[in-house]
Structure 1
Amino acid sequence: MMPATAEVAARTAREAYGRLVAYLAWRWNDLAAAEDALGDALLKALERWPHDGVPRQPEAWLLTVARRELLQSARHQGVVQRLAEDPAVRALLPREDDAAPEPFLVANPIPDNRLRLMLVCAHPAIDRAVRTPLMLQTVLGLDAQRIAAAFLVSPTAMAQRLVRAKQKIARAGIRFEEPDPADLPERTHALLEAVYAAYGLAWERLGAAGGEAAFSAELATEALYLAELCVALLPADAEALGLWALMLFCESRRDARFVTTPEGSECFVPLHEQDTARWDHAQIARANGLLREAAKLGQIGPYQLEAAIQSAHAQRAITGRVPWGGIAQLYEGLLQIAPTLGARIGHAVALGTAQGAVAGLEVLDALPETEVRNHAPWWVARAHLLEQARRWPEASAALRQGMGLTEDARLRAHLWRKLQALQAAPVTDTPA
Structure 2
Amino acid sequence: MSEGAGAAAERVARESYGRLVARLAWQWRDLAAAEDALADAFAAALRHWPEQGVPDAPEAWLAAAAQRRLLHHARHLRLTQDPRVTAVFDEAEPEAPDQQDVPDARLQLMFVCAHPAIAANVHAPLMLQAVLGLDAKVIASAFLVSPTAMAQRLVRAKARIRDAGLRFETPEARELPARLAAVLEAIYAAYTLGRHALDTPADDLREEARFLAGLAAQLMPEQAEAWGLLALLLHVEARRAAQFDAEGRFVPLTAQNPADWREDLIRQAEQALWTAAQLRQPGPFQLEAAIQSAHAQRRATGQTPWRAIAQLYEVLVQHHANLGARVGQAVAVGEAGDPAAAVALLDALPEDAAGYAPYWVARAHVLGLAGVPGRQAALQRAIGLTDDPRLRAFLLAQLG
Q: Which residue of 2 aligns with 1:410?
A: 390
* 1:81 positional shift: 5.9
Q: Which residue of 2 aligns with 1:127?
A: 119
Q: How many angstroms apart in 1 are the aligned matches of 2:309 and 2:265?
A: 21
Q: How many angstroms apart in 2 are the aligned matches of 1:396 and 1:131?
A: 39
- Among 226, 229, 233, the alignment partner of 2:215 is 229
Q: Aligned in 2, Cα 1:145/1:87: closer, same or farther, shift over 3 Å? A: closer
Q: Which residue of 2 aligns with 1:255?
A: 241
- Choose 343-352 or 381-390, whichever is displaced more: 381-390
Q: Which residue of 1 aligns with 2:155?
A: 163
1:267 equivalent in alignment to 2:286:
no
Task: Please show how residues 190-201 of structure 1 align to structure 2 within 5 Å.
Answer: 190-201=182-193
Q: Which residue of 2 aligns with 1:103?
A: none
Contact 2:29 2:162 in 1 (8 A): no
Amino acid at match of 1:158: M
* 1:60 positional shift: 1.8
Contact 1:252 1:281 in 2 (8 A): yes
* 1:85 positional shift: 7.4
Q: Aligned in 2, Cα 1:43/1:85: closer, same or farther, shift over 3 Å? A: closer
- Percent sequence identity over matched residues? 55
Q: Which residue of 2 aligns with 1:62?
A: 62
Question: For the aligned residues, what is the CA RMSD?
Answer: 2.5
Contact 2:26 2:167 in 1 (8 A): no
Amino acid at match of 1:274: Q
Q: Which residue of 1 aligns with 2:362?
A: 381
Contact 1:198 1:219 in 2 (8 A): yes
Amino acid at match of 2:260: R
Q: Which residue of 1 aligns with 2:339?
A: 357
Q: Which residue of 2 aligns with 1:288?
A: 270
1:136-157 superposed Cα distances (whole Å, 9 cap, x missing partner): 1110000111112222222222
1:367-408 superposed Cα distances (whole Å, 9 cap, x missing partner): 23x1333322122112212222334x5322322222222221
TM-score by length of 1: 0.84
Q: How many angstroms apart in 2 are the aligned matches of 1:412 and 1:82?
A: 58
* 1:280 positional shift: 0.9
Contact 1:241 1:293 in 2 (8 A): yes
* 1:75 positional shift: 3.2
- Among 296, 301, 304, the alignment partner of 1:319 is 301
* 1:87 positional shift: 7.8
1:117 equivalent in alignment to 2:103:
no
Amino acid at match of 2:284: P
1:288-341 superposed Cα distances (whole Å, 9 cap, x missing partner): 000000000000000000000000000001000100010011001101211011
Q: Aligned in 2, Cα 1:372/1:158: closer, same or farther, shift over 3 Å? A: closer
Matched position secondary structure for 1:36: helix
Q: Aligned in 2, Cα 1:232/1:69: closer, same or farther, shift over 3 Å? A: same
Q: Aligned in 2, Cα 1:403/1:142: closer, same or farther, shift over 3 Å? A: same
Q: Which residue of 2 aligns with 1:218?
A: 204
Q: Which residue of 2 aligns with 1:299?
A: 281
1:186 equivalent in alignment to 2:186:
no
Contact 1:291 1:308 in 2 (8 A): yes
1:244-268 superposed Cα distances (whole Å, 9 cap, x missing partner): 110111111111011245xxxx321
1:93-142 superposed Cα distances (whole Å, 9 cap, x missing partner): xxxxxxxxxxxxxxxxx962212211111111101111111111110000
1:24-56 superposed Cα distances (whole Å, 9 cap, x missing partner): 212332222221221221121111101111112
- How many residues align? The count is 390
Contact 1:248 1:284 in 2 (8 A): yes
Contact 1:19 1:111 in 2 (8 A): no
Q: Aligned in 2, Cα 1:323/1:125: closer, same or farther, shift over 3 Å? A: same
1:399 equivalent in alignment to 2:391:
no
Q: How many angstroms apart in 2 are the aligned matches of 1:157 and 1:362?
A: 31
Q: How many angstroms apart in 2 are the aligned matches of 1:314 and 1:83?
A: 59
Contact 1:26 1:113 in 2 (8 A): no
Q: How many angstroms apart in 2 are the aligned matches of 1:332 and 1:154?
A: 29
Q: How many angstroms apart in 1 are the aligned matches of 2:93 and 2:347?
A: 64
1:134-192 superposed Cα distances (whole Å, 9 cap, x missing partner): 11111000011111222222222222221111111111111122212222222111111
Amino acid at match of 1:382: R
Q: Which residue of 1 aligns with 2:81?
A: none
Amino acid at match of 2:243: R
- Stretches of structure 2 that go unaligned for 5 or more consecutive residues are 79-84
- Stretches of structure 1 that go unaligned for 5 or more consecutive residues are 93-109, 421-432
Contact 2:71 2:91 in 1 (8 A): no
Q: Aligned in 2, Cα 1:33/1:367: closer, same or farther, shift over 3 Å? A: closer
Q: How many angstroms apart in 1 are the aligned matches of 2:93 and 2:66?
A: 19
Q: Which residue of 1 aligns with 2:321?
A: 339
